[in-house]
Structure 1
Amino acid sequence: MPLSAKIKEINNAQEFKEFYLQDSHYSSCPECGHIAYSHGNGFLEIVTLEDLQQLHTHHIGLQTRRKFYSIILLTAGTVTEVIGHQKYHFGPQSMYFIPENQLHSIETWSEDLQGILCMFDADYFLLCIKHQIKLNQFPFFQLDKVPYIDLSDRETQMMQHLFWKLNSEKCQKTTFNDDLLVRMFLNIILLEAERIYNHKAAEQPYNLSRKEQLVAQFQLLVNQHFLDKKQVNEYAGMLHVHPHYLNDVVKEVSGFPASYFIQQQLIQEAKSRLIQTNDTVSMIAAALNFIDDSYFGRFFKKITGLTPVQYRKQHKHQ
């Protein structure tokens, strides 16, 4: 059986609940869910590790690829998990991060486990703030950086409070402005984690395989050049490898072809500009170096299922 056949893909919070929990309707707050999100508006879910430990059915040892981002704050107990192809042992007062599309499996969880799991997708993270940092720019979500930080007592207490505030605001929201506040608290958690990470990361050595190094270099180049380089062969040339080889390695490591990452970078930039600015669709198409508005519109609709105008109308805060 090929390895890919053993990997369970989990696309959203509902599939996460159905795979990990006995009760797929579980929610950490019964008052949640006042806002019904339409296509592409994303999701945010929070669950305690104690509840996950109690309700899980068969997740230990199975390899998954989550199509969203995860942040785990561990306050008690120990876990052994595989993120990518690296095995990690985490103890109390630690945070670890699982980026979108990363391979992941849980090997062991101790009985006294306590903490918080927060999961969200890229669409949910989009805020009405210009020049916002992108998720793939946070170091702990980058393939060539260690995906965890150790916390002091004060830092642990601060993160617990921020997650409590995030969940509290999520449970009480009744309007889209309330939802914007929830997204801002998520942003604060990530920015605080980045500040701690940057202060401590130099102390943490990290080794990647040659293939993982190539994919990390490719993703970095895409982040830097996606506006003017939209073809896989352009990146292959910069990396001095054959385009077919680059595509095969990217797909082996990430589960997606190389072109997927170029497209996603363009789509996220387009969504950000549609939500965070008042630029016309023509202005956005030109800024993203599309040959004309109609080509940009077809590209956007093929990926998202909506035209740029429809996406802006449905998702921009009033």
Structure 2
Amino acid sequence: MSTSSKIKEINTVQEFKEFYLQDAQYSYCTECNHLEYSHGEGFLEIIALEDLQKLHSRHIGHQSRRKFYSIVLLSEGEVEEVIGHQKYHFGPKSMYFVPENQLHSIESWSEDLKGILCMFDADYFLLCLKHQIKLNQFPFFQLDKVPYVNLSERETQMMQHLFWKLNSENCQKSTFNDDLLVRMFLNIILLEAERIYNHKVVDQAFSLSRKEQLVAQFQLLVNQHFLEKKQVNEYAGILCVHPHYLNDMVKEVSGFSASYFIQKQLIQEAKSRLMQTNQTVSMIATDLNFTDDSYFGRFFKKITGLTPLQYRKKHKHQ
């Protein structure tokens, strides 16, 4: 049996509950007025670690791959977790980050654990703001950067307050404008975390295997060139490897094909423009270097299940 077959793929919050919690029906906040989202079209969950600790079932050491992002603020206690292929020990006053599709396992949690787990997917992060930073541009979500930062007492209190505000707004939201405010607070948390991270983690040594280095370089190139380079062989050429080899390494490290990451970048950019601008579908197709509108429309619907106009009508804030 291959190692990959033992990895639990976790795509939604419901699957997270079923894998990690004794009671899959447990609600993190009984007072929340959740806006309805279809599968894969955006979610945000904030959980107190001490509550999660009480409900945690016996999955210590089991590998999972979550199709969403996680931020953990640890205020008290200690944890050992594996992120990617590295084992980390985190103590009080620290934050650590798990990007989407990254291998992850919990090795141990101390009984005095206190803190916050925030989970969200890329679709939820799409704000109605032009020129916002993309999730994969935050250093702590990049494969070749350390996925944690230690905090001072003041920084810990500040982040606790921001998470409290995020959770409070999330629980009280009843309109899409309320939801936009929640997304903005999530953006503030990530920007504050990045500012602290860049101040403290500059040029910190980080060891990656050769295949992890290759995949990190590939993902960085995709982030930079996805508009003009849409074929795996173009990236393989830049990296001086065979396309099949590149695809195999990306699949081994991430669980997804190399083409998946190119398509994902294109779709995220298209979604951003549909939500954040008034550009026509034809203008967006041209900007994304598609040969014609109909091809762009078929590509978008194949990935999302909606036409570009249907997506805009369903998700753009009024």
| Superposition TM-score, scaled by structure 1 size | 0.99
**Does the alignment pair 1:149 with 2:153?**
no
In the alignment, which residue of structure 1 is the partner of 2:11?
A: 11
Identify which range, 259-268 or 14-23, moves more after superposition: 14-23
Give, in whole Å, the separation in 2 of the partners of 1:10 and 1:40.
Answer: 12
List aligned pairs for 1:15-34, cutoff 5 A: 15-34=15-34
Give, in whole Å, the separation in 2 of the partners of 1:204 and 1:33.
Answer: 42
Aligned sequence identity (%):
83
Q: What amino acid maps onto 1:21 in structure 2?
A: L
> Aligned-pair distance for 1:39?
4.8
List aligned pairs for 1:92-107, cutoff 5 A: 92-107=92-107
> Aligned-pair distance for 1:205?
1.6
List aligned pairs for 1:125-144, cutoff 5 A: 125-144=125-144
Task: Kindly report the root-mean-square deviation, in angstroms, between the aligned alpha carbons of the 2 structures.
Answer: 0.9
Query: Alpha carbons of 1:39 and 1:111: their partners in 2 closer, same or farther (altered >3 Å)?
Result: closer
Give, in whole Å, the separation in 2 of the partners of 1:124 and 1:76.
Answer: 29
List aligned pairs for 1:116-195, cutoff 5 A: 116-195=116-195
2:202 match: secondary structure = helix
Q: What amino acid maps onto 2:38 in structure 1?
A: S
Give, in whole Å, the separation in 2 of the partners of 1:39 and 1:26.
Answer: 19
Give, in whole Å, the separation in 2 of the partners of 1:283 and 1:46.
Answer: 37
**Does the alignment pair 1:229 with 2:224?**
no
Give, in whole Å, the separation in 2 of the partners of 1:101 and 1:70.
Answer: 11
In the alignment, which residue of structure 1 is the partner of 2:91?
A: 91
Contact kept? 1:139, 1:145, Cα under 8 Å: yes
Deviations 1:65-97 (A, max 9, x none): 000000000011100000000010000000000
In the alignment, which residue of structure 1 is the partner of 2:277?
A: 277
In the alignment, which residue of structure 2 is the partner of 1:248?
A: 248
Give, in whole Å, the separation in 2 of the partners of 1:36 and 1:52.
Answer: 24
Give, in whole Å, the separation in 1 of the partners of 2:152 and 2:160.
Answer: 12
Give, in whole Å, the separation in 1 of the partners of 2:33 and 2:270.
Answer: 27
Q: What amino acid maps onto 1:49 in structure 2?
A: L
> Aligned-pair distance for 1:21?
1.1
In the alignment, which residue of structure 2 is the partner of 1:60?
A: 60
Give, in whole Å, the separation in 1 of the partners of 2:34 and 2:68.
Answer: 22
Give, in whole Å, the separation in 2 of the partners of 1:78 and 1:258.
Answer: 36
> Aligned-pair distance for 1:204?
2.7
Contact kept? 1:10, 1:67, Cα under 8 Å: yes
Q: What amino acid maps onto 1:56 in structure 2?
A: H
Deviations 1:9-47 (A, max 9, x none): 000111111111122222232121431113543000011
Identify which range, 253-262 or 202-211, moves more after superposition: 202-211
Deviations 1:54-73 (A, max 9, x none): 10112211000000000000
2:106 match: secondary structure = strand
Q: What amino acid maps onto 1:251 in structure 2?
A: K
Give, in whole Å, the separation in 2 of the partners of 1:291 and 1:67.
Answer: 30
Contact kept? 2:80, 2:89, Cα under 8 Å: yes
Q: What amino acid maps onto 1:316 in structure 2?
A: K
Give, in whole Å, the separation in 2 of the partners of 1:60 and 1:26.
Answer: 20
Q: Which runs of 5+ in 2 are unaligned?
A: none
Q: What amino acid maps onto 1:192 in structure 2?
A: E
| Superposition TM-score, scaled by structure 2 size | 0.99
Contact kept? 1:27, 1:47, Cα under 8 Å: no
In the alignment, which residue of structure 2 is the partner of 1:261?
A: 261
Give, in whole Å, the separation in 2 of the partners of 1:147 and 1:33.
Answer: 32
Give, in whole Å, the separation in 2 of the partners of 1:99 and 1:66.
Answer: 8
1:74 match: secondary structure = strand
Contact kept? 2:33, 2:172, Cα under 8 Å: no
Q: Which runs of 5+ in 1 are unaligned?
A: none
Contact kept? 1:41, 1:315, Cα under 8 Å: no
Deviations 1:75-130 (A, max 9, x none): 11100000000010000000000000000001011111111000000000000000
1:163 match: secondary structure = helix
Contact kept? 2:12, 2:40, Cα under 8 Å: no
> Aligned-pair distance for 1:181?
0.4
